[in-house]
Amino acid sequence: MTENNDEYNDQKPQNVIDCAKTNEEFHLHERMTKIEEMTNALYELLQEKSQMLDKISEILKKY
């Protein structure tokens, strides 16, 4: 019985490390996903602003 407990205790730190790595990777993935979403939203805004500037430029050319 003691051997099993010793074996479990020897493995436990690695399991904790693996769990922490998995948790860190999960949070990193969440952050990367959020950054990607924000980047896409910014790109869309820039597209809209570019279109507005093109329209303004066309209007100003008429005058």
**pLDDT digit string (tens) for 13-59?**
788 778 878 888 889 999 999 999 999 999 999 999 999 999 999 99
Distance CA 20, CA 16 (A): 6
For residues 35 and 62, which has the higher predicted lDDT (pLDDT)? 35
In this structure, what token pair is assigned to residue 12? 């436990």
The predicted structure's pLDDT at residue 11 = 65
Band (7; pLDDT cuts 50, 70, 90): low
Which residue carries 């948790």 as its tokens? Answer: 23
pLDDT in the model for residue 30: 95
Instruction: Specify the 3-state DSSP secondary structure of 22.
Output: helix
d(C-alpha 8, C-alpha 17), whole Å: 14
Cα separation, 52 vs 10, in Å, equals 64
Q: What is the pLDDT of residue 35?
A: 98
